[in-house]
Chains A and B, each alone.
Chain A
Amino acid sequence: GENVEQHPSTLSVQEGDSAVIKCTYSDSASNYFPWYKQELGKRPQLIIDIRSNVGEKKDQRIAVTLNKTAKHFSLHITETQPEDSAVYFCAASYTGGGNKLTFGTGTQLKVEL
Chain B
Amino acid sequence: DAGVIQSPRHEVTEMGQEVTLRCKPISGHNSLFWYRQTMMRGLELLIYFNNNVPIDDSGMPEDRFSAKMPNASFSTLKIQPSEPRDSAVYFCASSLGTGRADTQYFGPGTRLTVL
Contact = CB atoms under 8 A, between A and B. Distances in A.
Contacts, number: 57
Given A95-B101, A98-B55, A44 B108 contact: no
A89 interface: yes
Nearest to B3: A43
A103 B102 CA distance: 14
A46 B103 contact: yes
Contacts of B82: none
A43 B23 CA distance: 14
Interface in B45-83: 45, 48, 50, 55-56
A106 B43 CA distance: 9
A59 to B, nearest CB: 14
A34 B103 contact: yes
A100 B102 contact: no
Interface in A9-57: 31-32, 34, 36, 42-46, 49, 51
Contact of B31 (A43, A45, A99, A103): A99
Contacts of A97: 101
Contacts of A44: 43, 91, 106
Interface string A88-103: 0100011111111111
Interface of B: 31, 33, 42-43, 45, 48, 50, 55-56, 91, 95, 97, 99-109
23 contacts: A31-B101, A32-B101, A32-B102, A42-B108, A43-B106, A43-B108, A46-B103, A94-B101, A95-B101, A98-B31, A98-B50, A98-B55, A98-B56, A99-B31, A99-B48, A99-B95, A99-B101, A99-B102, A101-B33, A101-B45, A101-B104, A102-B45, A106-B42
